Amino acid sequence: MSRREKLEEMLKSSPEDAFLNYGLAMEEAREGNLEAALAQLQRVIELDADYVAAYFQQGQLLAQENRVDESRQRLTEGIAVAERVGDAHAAGEMREFLAALPQ
């Protein structure tokens, strides 16, 4: 059974689990299904608005798709969340990524 299949199976019994949904988003991204990954990351944020990694991953994927304005918006939101929950490291990483985006 593949990682994706395992995640999908676990999600059947725990569809509201942000961690499992995040794992599925990462599988989608790894498989090159970027729109599906973005949608899955949005679900993670809807399930747990404090899931800092989802903001960063979504920002990175949006930038990869040349959706720079959307990436900036998501990263800015993520920085605010990271600061609110006390994750200075993630806030710093997102700031660096944001600063490196093309104007």
DSSP string, 50-91: T-HHHHHHHHHHHHHTT-HHHHHHHHHHHHHHHHHHT-HHHH
pLDDT at 103: 83
pLDDT at 95: 98
Indicate the domain borders of the chain.
3-100
| Fold exhibited by the domain 3-100 | 1.25.40
pLDDT tens per residue across all 103 residues of the chain: 999 999 999 999 999 999 999 999 999 999 999 999 999 999 999 999 999 999 999 999 999 999 999 999 999 999 999 999 999 999 999 999 999 999 8
